[in-house]
Amino acid sequence: MPELPEVEVVRAGLAPAVTGATIAAVSVFDERALTRHAGDGAQFEAALTGRRIRAATRRGKFLWLSLEPDRPESDGPAREAIVGHLGMSGQMLLRAPGAPGERHERVRFDLEHPEHGEISVVFADQRTFGSLAIDALIDTPDAAAGGYGSPEAVVPTQVAHIARDPLDPAFDGFAFRAALVRKHSAIKRVLLDQTVVSGIGNIYADEALWAARLHPETEASALSTRSVNRLLAEVGAVLHKALAEGGTSFDAQYVNVNGQAGYFAHSLHAYGRTGQPCDRCGRPIVRVSFMNRSSHFCPHCQRLPRGSSSSRPRTTQE
C-alpha cells in the first residue's frame, strides 16, 4: 500500500497543475471508485463541474483537493474538498487533454488552468480499493493547518480522526511520547496505528526501527525518552530520504503523476531483505509474521529487551 512518501510525491506533482484550475468536466467510468462518496456517479459529476480547485493537501496517506466556495464573495476557508485515498493500487496521473484512456481508469477530471491550459487528471485503480469522495471540511481543533500543502486550518470529516504525520509542521512530538507511555503493545503496532501517528506503513516502520536499533516487538511503554527521540528522528530521516528518491516502487502500480517509479527500494536496509546480510553487522535479516503482514529486522542489532512481555514470533528466512 502506498505510504506517506508515495502519496506526498503524488500531491506535490498534482499541486502546480490543479491549484487555481477549474473543473471543466468529470467522467465517472466506475462507481466503485466512489465507495466513500455519499452520492452516485451522476451526482459526483454534476457537483464538481465548474468548481475551482484551491489547493492540494495531504495528511498521512490521505490527500484532498480543496474547492473554492460556490459563492466567490466568500473570504473564508474552503468548506468542501475532493478527498482521495489510493488504497492498494490507486494512481493519480496527469495527462494531456484527449489522451487515450488509461488501463483501470475509474474517474477523469478535465481541467482548465489559467497558466497551463487544459490538462486531465486520471484516477486509475487496478484493485479498486482506492476511493474519491466530495466531503465537508471542518476546522482543526488545534487551529493549525489541516495538512501539508495548504495553510488553511480545515480537514475533511473523513480524515479528521487521522493523526498528524511526522513531517507535518504541527506534529506534536511531546504528545506522541506521552501516548507511548500508555501503550503496552509492540512499538511497531503503535507506529502503524494511524490514530497515533499517520503515514507510516509497514515498509517505513521496519526501516525506522532498524535505523533506531529497536526490535519491532519492544513494548512501547518500556521505551526510554532517549529511545523515543531517536526513533522519531529516524522516522523523519527515513521519510525524507524516501521522498527525495520518489518513494518505494516494487511494481508498476506505485508511480508519480507522470507514471514514473520511485527508487527508494534500492536504499532499504531491512524491509524485503530476508536472509541478506545486515548493512550494520553482516548477520542475516529475518522475517516474522506480524498483524497479517511481515516484520523484517536484524535480531543481532535489534534485540528484544530482557524481561519484555512480548513473545518473539517464529522467524523465517527465504
The string of pLDDT tens digits covering residues 243-260 is 887 666 444 454 555 555
Residue 12: all three cell numbers together: 506535490
Question: Catalytic positions, please?
Answer: 2-3, 61, 293
- The whole-angstrom separation of Cα 92 and Cα 255 is 9
Residue 108: all three cell numbers together: 477523469
The answer to whether 288 and 188 have CB atoms below 8 angstroms apart is no
Question: What's the rounded mean pLDDT across residues 276-290?
Answer: 95
Which tops the pLDDT comparison, 247 or 5? 5
pLDDT digits (tens, 9 = 90+) for 58-108: 999 999 999 998 765 556 778 999 999 999 888 999 999 889 999 899 999
The answer to whether 298 and 278 have CB atoms below 8 angstroms apart is yes
pLDDT digits (tens, 9 = 90+) for 157-180: 999 999 999 999 999 999 999 999
307 pLDDT tier (thresholds 50, 70, 90)? low
**Half-sphere exposure of residue 201, counting CA atoms within 13 Å on the CB side?**
18
Beta 90-95 vs 117-125: how paired, if at all?
antiparallel
Secondary-structure class of domain 173-316 per CATH: mainly alpha
Cβ neighbors of 212 (< 8 A, separation 6 or more) are 227, 230, 231, 233, 234
pLDDT digits (tens, 9 = 90+) for 25-68: 999 999 999 999 999 999 999 999 999 999 999 999 999 999 99
CATH number of 4-156: 3.20.190.10
Say which amino acid occupies 34. L
Q: Where are the domains of the chain?
A: 4-156, 173-316
Say which amino acid occupies 97. P
Percent of the chain residues topping a pLDDT of 90: 71
